[in-house]
Amino acid sequence: MKFISWNIDSINAAVEHKSVRGEMTWSTLNEIATIRPDVFAIQETKLKSTGLTKKQATAIAELFPEYHLYVNSSTARSGYSGTMVLSKVEPTQVEYPTIGAPGPMDLEGRIITLEFPTFFLSTVYTPNSGSSLIRLPERGEWDDKYREYIKSLDATKPVIFSGDMNVAHQEIDLKNPKTNRHSAGFTDQEREKFSALLDAGFTDTFRSLNPDTPSVYTWWAQISKTSKINNSGWRIDYYLVSDRIAENVTESCVIDTGARQDHAPILLEINV
CB-facing half-sphere around the CA of 95: CA atoms within 13 A? 15
pLDDT in tens, 74-93: 999 999 999 999 999 999 99
DSSP 232-271: --B--EEEEEEGGGGGGEEEEEE---TT--EE--EEEEE-
Single out the catalytic residue among 125, 146, 149, 238: 125
> Residue 200: CB partners within 8 Å, gap ≥ 6?
147, 150, 151, 154
Single out the catalytic residue among 9, 143, 164, 173: 164
The residue type at 181: R
Model pLDDT, residue 169? 98
164 is in an annotated binding site: yes
176 is in an annotated binding site: no
263 is in an annotated binding site: yes
**189 C-beta neighbours (distance < 10 Å), count:** 15
Partners of 93 in the β-ladder: 115
Which CATH class name applies to 2-270? alpha beta
44 is in an annotated binding site: yes
Is 131's pLDDT higher than 90? no
Helix (H, G, I), strand (E, B) or coil at 191: helix
Q: How much is the average pLDDT of 147-173?
A: 98
- What pTM, to 2 d.p., does this model score? 0.98
263 catalytic, yes or no?
A: yes
pLDDT in tens, 101-111: 999 999 999 99
72 is in an annotated binding site: no
Is 213's pLDDT higher than 90? yes
Domain regions of the chain by residue span: 2-270
Grade residue 217 by pLDDT with cuts at 50, 70 and 90. very high
pLDDT in tens, 1-39: 999 999 999 999 999 999 999 999 999 999 999 999 999
